[in-house]
Structure 1
């Protein structure tokens, strides 16, 4: 059964690149796990705060809208019993579903959980090579 994106999730997608938005909508159509969009675009001021708090390591975040006016990243969290989880075993089950949604939409995607350092379970982004 498709997942219905809530008002907050839809609002978070407002300034996100349309290709990534398509992936999230496809995810809602195919996912067997409920999820929420935690964050789409963010301001430079928000990113400064995130770096200061240690929840981000760069001011070159793909959450900050680029020259095209869109954020090229989105944070998506699976829900367990209706609540956001930070359990890596759940993210490891959820990420293949997100990647399948991207494949179906023919949109290349990178998952923060695949990074060698500063692994970021909720983070999905468009690759810089294809989306400068």
Structure 2
């Protein structure tokens, strides 16, 4: 089944860098898991609220307008039974679709599930995405560092 971006998702893409918009538009057509664009460009006030709630770690987010005037990040959340759901198994499917889209379009994208450039993942399957998240978490714990995974988050690598 081919999915399409709804009006709300399209509205969230306003102000997002055109390269990242192209990746999202390709991913929604290729994915086996429907998703919504939960967040694109954010204001400083919105970002402050995300940091205060612990949903974000920095005010210097790629969701905020960058030097070129565009936001360089989106959050893609699984859409299941008419609702957005933050669940890992469907997030892995979305990440695999973004991996494929980024590769097809030649757009470098970093994924917040494992905080790596998707080009560093050799096979774009949900299983490979899950393995990347597990490897990231294990490496952070081994180094005595905090693990912060943001599975729905995708950003341009610049």
TM-score, normalised via structure 2 length: 0.77
Name the stretch that deviates more: 89-98 or 35-44. Answer: 89-98
Q: Within 1, Cα distance between the matches of 2:13 and 2:87? A: 24
Does 2:149 correspond to 1:119? yes
Counterpart-to-counterpart distance in 1, 2:29 and 2:97:
11
- Listed as ranges, the gaps of 5+ residues in structure 2 are 116-135, 137-146
Q: CA deviation at 1:2?
A: 2.7
**1:81 equivalenced with 2:81 (yes/no):** yes
TM-score for both structures, normalised by structure 1: 0.91
8 A contact 2:112–2:151 mirrored in 1: yes
- 1:4 to partner: Cα distance: 1.8
Indicate the SS of the match to 1:113. coil
Q: Could you tell me how far 1:82 is from its partner in structure 2? A: 2.4
For 1:65, the equivalent position in structure 2 comes to 65
Moved more, 78-87 or 21-30: 78-87
Partner of 1:30: 30
CA RMSD of aligned residues (A): 1.2
Aligned residues between the structures: 128
| Greater helix proportion | 2
Please list every run of at least 4 consecutive aligned residues from structure 1 whose deviation after the TM superposition is greater than 2 angstroms: none
Gap runs ≥5 in structure 1 = none
Larger mean Cα displacement after TM superposition, 53-62 or 114-123: 114-123
Query: CA offset at residue 38 of structure 1?
Result: 0.2
Q: Is the contact made by 2:27 and 2:94 (CA closer than 8 Å) also made in structure 1?
A: no
